Structure 1
Amino acid sequence: MTTDVFDPAKRSAVMARVKSTGTTPEKTLRRLLTGLGARYRLHRKDLPGSPDLVMPGRRLVFFVHGCFWHGHDCARGSRVPKANRDYWLAKVARNKARDARNGAALTQAGWRVETIWECQMKDEAALVERLKENLSHGRGFSGTGEDL
């Protein structure tokens, strides 16, 4: 077991600065969707899980998940810190359970739910194609970057 390089007060301050909204991956997704001519709302608190981006007319929501925090099965997401291992395993398990509950509630309410993982942001071309596919299932999308 490794010891933390920070004292508990400093570690708390560092962890408190971890953002939940306005992250770089979220901003990237917003930029790509705007480039496709899509309109969206941010962080609707009245929906389960407060999705990162919401397209009410399309009944489509996007969650942008950090691989580590939400336990993605990529190299970064499957990594577990050596310090406080049991805490982190439980934390990520709770996050995954909450994500599943929120996704199920949204689906039950008639929403399409898309999860974009942090690691998927590396291949913007593939992500744009995926976004086009999702948008083409909604109403009024021409596929040319213009909403009709």
Structure 2
Amino acid sequence: MQAIRSRDTTPERLIRRLVHAQGLRYRVAARPLPKLRRTADMVFRPAKVAVFIDGCYWHGCPEHYVPPKTNSGYWSDKVARNVARDRDTDQRLTAEGWTVLRFWEHEPSDECAARITAEVERRRNAEREDPPSS
């Protein structure tokens, strides 16, 4: 478990590089909400967009997840807890006005980067047109 990367995976680095090339700046492996002890892979604070790039095994991809052969009870429960925590994180962030974008590690990086860029720009433009009242 110690050797498994929790950040800076190849899909994350590739997507970050593509988003950065579009001129967007973000926080890496940051907490979107300070009180919530969960980190997003990319956080765009002013736009309130949190991006997660989920690994197929650890987050139970419906397309690629294969239950382990050894100690299957433990690992299957672990993955189920991860999925439940992901849903809880999505709900908490959404309740606070955040947009949550989740991608699987197998999705094409350029498509993920394009969706991230479009959503951040959309949120930024919406905020410019309708600034919050003080």
Give the whole-Å Cα distance in 2 for the aligned partners of 1:128 and 1:99.
21
Give the whole-Å Cα distance in 2 for the aligned partners of 1:94 and 1:24.
24
TM-score (norm 2): 0.83
Give the whole-Å Cα distance in 2 for the aligned partners of 1:90 and 1:134.
33
1, 6, 13: which is aligned to 1:27?
13
User: What SS does structure 1 have at the residue aligned with 2:63?
Assistant: coil
Higher helix share: 1
Give the whole-Å Cα distance in 2 for the aligned partners of 1:82 and 1:88.
10
Matches for 1:65-104 after TM superposition, within 5 Å: 65-75=54-64, 78-104=65-91
Shift of 1:60: 0.4
1:113 aligns with 2:100: yes
Counterpart residue identity of residue 31, structure 1: R
User: What SS does structure 2 have at the residue aligned with 1:67?
Assistant: coil
Give the whole-Å Cα distance in 2 for the aligned partners of 1:135 and 1:114.
10
Instruction: Indicate conservation of the 8 Å contact 2:90/2:100, yes or no.
Output: yes
Shift of 1:104: 0.7
Q: CA RMSD in A?
A: 1.8
Instruction: Indicate conservation of the 8 Å contact 2:15/2:110, yes or no.
Output: no
Instruction: Indicate conservation of the 8 Å contact 1:54/1:60, yes or no.
Output: yes
- For structure 1, the 5+ residue unaligned runs are 1-14, 142-148
Relative distance call for 1:90 and 1:52 in structure 2 (3 A) is same
Q: How many residues align?
A: 123
- For structure 2, the 5+ residue unaligned runs are 127-134
Give the whole-Å Cα distance in 2 for the aligned partners of 1:67 and 1:132.
23
Structure label with greater radius of gyration: 1
Relative distance call for 1:116 and 1:25 in structure 2 (3 A) is same
Give the whole-Å Cα distance in 2 for the aligned partners of 1:108 and 1:33.
26
TM-score (norm 1): 0.75
Instruction: Indicate conservation of the 8 Å contact 1:47/1:106, yes or no.
Output: no
Higher strand share: 2
Instruction: Indicate conservation of the 8 Å contact 2:24/2:117, yes or no.
Output: no
Report the equivalent of 1:7: none
Deviating beyond 3 angstroms after TM superposition, the runs of 4 or more aligned structure 1 residues are: none
Shift of 1:72: 1.2
Report the equivalent of 1:16: 2
